[in-house]
Amino acid sequence: MERRNFIKNAAASGMAMAGIGSVFGATASESVMSNEAKFKLKYAPHLGMFPEHAGKDPIDNIKFISDHGFRAIFDNGLMNKPPELQEKMASELNRLGMDIGPFVLYADFSAESMVLFNDESRKMLKERLQLGIETYKRTGAKYALMVPGRYNQKLDWGYQTANVIDSMRELSEIAEKEGMIIVLEPLNKRDHPGLFLTGMPQTYAICRAVNNPSCKIVNDIYHQQITEGNIIPNIDQSWSEIAAFHIGDNPGRKEPTTGEINYKNIFQHIYKKGYDGVLCCEHGKSQQGKEGESAFIKAYREVDSFEV
């Protein structure tokens, strides 16, 4: 607090105005304070969110994200990065005290991966899981995202559901032994027609049937606004099975405040429920260039300004 007050007072008296900028074009005092202030929740930009300010290097991006108050990142493609880079990223995140959100373990939107749980798909999914476990051991990223794939147009829906449950039971038992958690993501039918998993109640029922702490939900609020709305009640009903969130406003799938979703109220609700996990910023930017990157940060400052 003494250091913070010194800088603030110096800026107010004109001593620290030169050479200190803000991505918002604010005063030096506002810049220092905004850069140091940590967000209440662990909003997690992905590593390609700030190319104009941070370049393309993942480590530089992690530093930039941390410098602007974010306490987490997410990287859907983490599992595909070279092991050396994975370890380097993990080291930097540990140094900065940052968390990392779910990475994509398996998401083939063209295959009936789990609804027809046969020997071939069982073998493929186990092999994929093993690769994910190796990534987790190198990075500490314990949440791995899976999508069950497409539904089958011939097999009764009840049998398909049972196959998904059996698949997730087998995979979750393996993941649990390693300390990893698989998160299932329901996706909306408009953007991804033909997929099996679409709703929070459906995913909740599957997780309860699997009955394993390594089978949980990532609640993508953008998708669920399109599929069913009723966001806060669905969060409450599914709370015991939610392990992570994805963020994106609707329409447009851009940063909060650009669409119809009242993220400020949602985040306040999640915060008051005691959530301390990651909320992945899985969306685009409403503006291009440095201005768009600045608008992104400003939007999260706005929706994080809820009362506690």
What are the pLDDT digits (tens) for 186-226? 999 999 999 999 999 999 999 999 999 999 999 999 999 99
- Check pLDDT > 50 for residue 29: no
| CA angle centred on 110, ends 109 and 112, rounded to 5° | 95
pLDDT at residue 213, as a whole number: 98
Which residues carry out catalysis? 185, 282
Structural tokens at position 48? 């390609």
Query: How far out from the chain centre does Cα 238 lie?
Result: 17
Rounded CA separation 15/65 (Å): 27
Q: What is the dihedral of CA 299, 303, 304, 305, to 10 degrees?
A: 110
What are the pLDDT digits (tens) for 127-141? 999 999 999 999 999
What are the pLDDT digits (tens) for 68-126? 999 999 999 999 999 999 999 999 999 999 999 999 999 999 999 999 999 999 999 99
- Check pLDDT > 50 for residue 27: no
pLDDT at residue 35, as a whole number: 56
Structural tokens at position 308? 């506690």
Q: Which residues pair with 43 in a beta bridge?
A: 279
pLDDT at residue 37, as a whole number: 93
pLDDT at residue 26, as a whole number: 44
Are 101 and 44 a contacting pair, CB within 8 Å? yes
Confidence of residue 304 (pLDDT cuts 50, 70, 90): very high
- Least Cα distance to 62 among 25, 30, 33, 100 occurs for 100
Structural tokens at position 237? 């009903």
Q: List domains and CATH numbers for the chain.
A: 1-37 (no CATH), 39-303 (3.20.20.150)
pLDDT at residue 18, as a whole number: 36
Q: Which residues pair with 216 in a beta bridge?
A: 183
